[in-house]
Amino acid sequence: MSRTPQPTLQRLLLATAVAMVALLAASWLVGRLLPASWQDVLQTRWGYLAPVSYGVTAVCMGLGGALAGPRFLIVAVGLTLAMWIATVSVLAGIAGAASDNTYSVSFLLRTNALSAVLSLAAAALGTWLGTLWYRRRTTRH
pTM: 0.85
Q: Exposed, middle or buried by CB within 10 Å (0-12, 13-18, 19+), for 42? A: exposed
Closest to 90 (Cα-Cα) out of 76, 71, 103: 103
Question: pLDDT at position 1, please?
Answer: 45
Choose between 40 and 53: higher pLDDT. Answer: 53
Q: Where are the domains of the chain?
A: 9-140
**pLDDT per position as a tens digit, 70-104:** 999 999 999 999 999 999 999 888 877 766 667 77
Helices and strands: H and E segment counts in the chain = 5, 2
Instruction: Report the relative pairing of strands 47-49 and 42-44 from DSSP bridges.
Output: antiparallel
Angle made by CA atoms 78, 74, 26, in degrees to the nearest 5: 60
What number of other Cβ atoms are within 10 A of residue 84's Cβ?
A: 17
Alpha-carbon dihedral angle through residues 125, 53, 41, 48, given to the nearest 10 degrees: 40
Mutual angle of helices 72-97 and 9-33, in 10-degree steps: 50
Q: How far apart are CA 36 and CA 109, in angstroms?
A: 26
Please, which pLDDT band fits residue 114 given cuts at 50, 70 and 90? very high
Is 62 in contact with 130 (CB distance < 8 Å)? yes
Q: What is the mean pLDDT of residues 33-54?
A: 88
Question: pLDDT at position 31, please?
Answer: 87
Question: pLDDT at position 103, please?
Answer: 72
